[in-house]
């Protein structure tokens, strides 16, 4: 005689919630990894442009030190300005992507907390089930012991009556 745990459906719901939270966490981690990869790409692009700017700046200084023509220096300054604008654009991309990485990291933290909460909820209800099963087993054993006592008492009373009926003078 075994009873079904009354909260079995709730255990299944909690398991599903836990599985879902693990899946969401994995998705958030993947998104974070993609954002970090993209940030690395943007950072490399920015560093290339920054290096190019430094090279052009060095070239301009060398040209100025040589005493080159004003027209050539003006062209180099104009080109350097273009490179500076490109660098500013790349810096902006890096900052925006860093915001995306930070946001993705926050999402990972939220998903991790949700997963741990779902795990804790599942563990609580499973502990409740174990306790319920122990109590249920105890009650079953008590009931069986009571039935055996009753059966033994009935058997004893029946034997006494039989004995009295066979031997009515013995009392």
- Model pTM? 0.70
Whether the CA torsion 104, 109, 110, 111 is positive or negative: it is: positive
Indicate whether 49 belongs to any domain: yes
Single out the residue of 115, 104, 112 nearest to residue 21, CA to CA: 115
* Cβ neighbours around 86 below 10 Å, total: 16
Range of 40's domain? 8-120
Looking at the structure of the chain, the number of domains it has is 1
Indicate whether 28 belongs to any domain: yes
Indicate whether 76 belongs to any domain: yes
Q: Where are the alpha helices (DSSP H) in the chain?
A: 8-66, 70-166
Indicate whether 105 belongs to any domain: yes
Contacts of 87 (CB under 8 A, 6+ apart): 46, 49, 50, 53
pLDDT for residue 121 is more than 70: yes
Q: What distances in angstroms separate CA 169 from CA 30, 40, 41, 72, 157, one per listed residue?
A: 94, 107, 110, 143, 18
Indicate whether 141 belongs to any domain: no
- Give me the pLDDT at residue 165, please: 81
- Give me the pLDDT at residue 171, please: 53
157-162 average pLDDT score: 84
State pLDDT tens for residues 50-106: 999 999 999 888 888 888 788 888 888 899 999 999 999 999 999 999 999 999 999
* Cβ neighbours around 26 below 10 Å, total: 13
CATH code at position 19: 1.10.287.1700
- Give me the pLDDT at residue 21, please: 96
Residue pair 110/27 in contact by the 8 Å Cβ criterion = no
Indicate whether 159 belongs to any domain: no
């Amino acid at each position: 005689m075994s009873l079904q745990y009354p909260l079995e459906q709730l255990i299944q719901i909690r398991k599903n919630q836990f599985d879902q939270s693990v899946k969401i966490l994995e998705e958030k981690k993947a998104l974070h990894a993609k954002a970090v990869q993209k940030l690395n790409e943007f950072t490399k692009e920015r560093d290339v442009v920054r290096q190019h700017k430094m090279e052009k700046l060095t070239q301009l200084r060398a040209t100025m030190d040589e005493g080159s023509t004003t027209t050539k220096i003006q062209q180099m300054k104009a080109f350097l300005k273009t490179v500076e604008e490109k660098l500013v654009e790349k810096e902006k991309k890096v900052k925006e992507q860093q915001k995306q990485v930070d946001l993705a990291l926050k999402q990972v933290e939220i998903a991790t907390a949700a997963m741990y909460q779902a795990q804790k909820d599942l563990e609580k209800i499973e502990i409740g089930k174990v306790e319920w099963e122990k109590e249920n087993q105890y009650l079953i054993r008590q009931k069986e012991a009571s039935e055996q006592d009753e059966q033994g008492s009935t058997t004893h009373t029946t034997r006494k009556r039989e004995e009295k009926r066979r031997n009515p003078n013995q009392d």
